[in-house]
Amino acid sequence: MQCRTDCGACCIAISIHRPFFGMPAGKPAGVRCVHLSESMRCGVFGDPRRPPVCDAFMPEREYCGDSREQALARLSQLERESAPDTVSAGSAV
């Protein structure tokens, strides 16, 4: 599958927990990457400063669906499902 034009879902939905060029605190899920262009393309594609997680991501129908909306929904759901469980202080485990 080729990356869909005007999408950018993977540059918005996923979190990146390590600091990287342009985002020294990483990128929270649901926040647009600073390198996502107005045309919804990665501005650091092919740049060695691009985060390894982004370099490893390959578009697949399972994740990208048939539209940008489906991609955002699916990737956001995967992000929520893979987030570590957090237990607030004082709560029973």
Per-residue pLDDT tens digits for 1-13: 889 989 999 999 9
- Please compute the mean of the pLDDT values over residues 67-92 and round it to a whole number: 80
Residue 70's pLDDT is 97
Please check whether residue 52 lies inside any domain of the structure.
Answer: yes
Please check whether residue 23 lies inside any domain of the structure.
Answer: yes
Using alpha carbons only, what angle is made at residue 51 by residues 50 and 53, rounded to the nearest 5 degrees? 130
Please check whether residue 53 lies inside any domain of the structure.
Answer: yes
Please check whether residue 64 lies inside any domain of the structure.
Answer: yes
Write down the pTM of the prediction: 0.83
Please check whether residue 65 lies inside any domain of the structure.
Answer: yes
- Name the residue range of residue 14's domain: 10-81
Please check whether residue 91 lies inside any domain of the structure.
Answer: no
Please check whether residue 86 lies inside any domain of the structure.
Answer: no
Per-residue pLDDT tens digits for 45-72: 999 999 999 999 999 999 999 999 999 9
How many domains, in total, are found in the chain? 1
Residue 63 to residue 7: CA distance in whole angstroms:
13
Residue 84's pLDDT is 78
Please check whether residue 92 lies inside any domain of the structure.
Answer: no
Residue 47 to residue 55: CA distance in whole angstroms:
10
- What dihedral angle (degrees, nearest 10) is formed by the CA atoms of 9, 13, 18, 20? 30
